Structure 1
């Protein structure tokens, strides 16, 4: 979650998905980085572009799904 405005740059990019999200104060990005099978989803590899003007302050919040097996059921294949 960006905590301040950035003059230029600073987007979060997902290169394997072709997605870029600019830093907008008060907004948040959320994604699952595991498939339903529990294997890592490499498509969620992400990075931050350089800030070209100003400074970027962010806050991270990690959610762990351990113990949620009955709410987020496994799929029938490794691709899910």
Structure 2
């Protein structure tokens, strides 16, 4: 993340947490419960930056692979996902 003068927090409204961006920091969370169901407490949003710029990098880790995504494209009739 980068430092932001005003705004740009990442908020988790279900648990009442707001994380201000700070250069060199990172945030990590699991969005699934141990049983594989969605953990709705991890719903989050990025607040608008009012003054300054916000730079972030995202990394998604698919614990169970990309099975759901593959099934979605198969239902659409896509034969080769790599060509998309």
**TM band (smaller chain):** 0.7 to 0.9
Structure 2 unpaired stretches of 5+: 66-84
Residue 64 of structure 1: how far off its partner (Å): 1.8
Deviations 1:7-56 (A, max 9, x none): 11100000000001000111111100001110101110000111110111
Equivalence for 1:47: 45
Unaligned runs of 5+ in 1: 68-80
* RMSD between aligned residues: 1.2
Query: How far apart are residue 66 of structure 1 and its match?
Result: 2.4
**Deviation beyond 3 Å, 4+ runs, structure 1:** none
1:27 aligned to which of 25, 43, 47: 25
Structure having the larger proportion of residues in helix: 2
| Count of paired positions | 65
Q: TM-score, normalised by structure 2?
A: 0.72
Give the equivalent residue in structure 1 for 2:36.
38
The TM-score normalised by the length of structure 1 is: 0.76
Higher relative contact order (CA 8 A, sep 6+): 1
